[in-house]
Homo-oligomer: A and B are copies of this chain.
């Protein structure tokens, strides 16, 4: 009854390790058998480690832009350089972080992170997370016969709000956003603008159990989630364009006004 989230105690991963193998081991140790419709929520950091997406800080030579940003926002210059390389655009920053655009997503530090990275390294965001999530899903089916979905979970900050929450970097096997715009509400009135980001809500739930420091729950098994299985994967399709975005369109308008005034 209801939704269940079970953190899997997977072993500490080393660069290049087989993530799925570690997950299957953890399931076995936990006496858990996958079922059709289960969702495996995997932390983006675990994916990056499996993909060997690490940068050695001392090998990086910061350029002028990195030096400037590092001094403006109190960052290590080498770290700022790595962020610049990963980001599609840097939009600004606050003490300790740069606001970046990467693959249509607004994110802190372009997803580059030193937390839980081996000493002297920064962890880069996963490469092609949608493809990775699909491969895990297909391989799970081959090895267990179960139709699961896979979600890669990262953390984000939101405007004027304290603390990080989880969101879906990529999804394979279910529709991440449910369009309610043509449904009717309790009173039969047509719903006008609401779409529900099922994947981001689910990712937040998983993020809660993954922890942000030393909890080691890199994978969470989600059971009885309200999802519709589809044979597809998603990443940037979960984003909207700036002109459709309540925040960005307001911001863009204010910027134009600022220029005029």
Interface of A with B (CB < 8 Å)?
1-7, 12, 91-97, 99, 104-106, 108, 114-119, 156-167, 176-178, 180, 183-187, 189, 191-198, 200-205, 207-209, 211-214, 216, 221, 225-226, 238-251, 253-255, 258-259, 261
Contacts and interface: CB of A to CB of B under 8 A. Distances in A.
Contacts of A247: 99, 106, 157-160, 247
24 contacts: A3-B4, A4-B5, A5-B205, A91-B254, A94-B245, A106-B159, A106-B247, A114-B189, A115-B191, A159-B245, A160-B247, A161-B167, A161-B238, A162-B177, A164-B194, A164-B195, A166-B201, A180-B212, A186-B213, A194-B212, A208-B226, A255-B255, A258-B258, A258-B259
Contact of A249 (B1, B4, B92): B92
Complex copy number for this chain = 2
Contact of A250 (B94, B105, B187, B249): B94
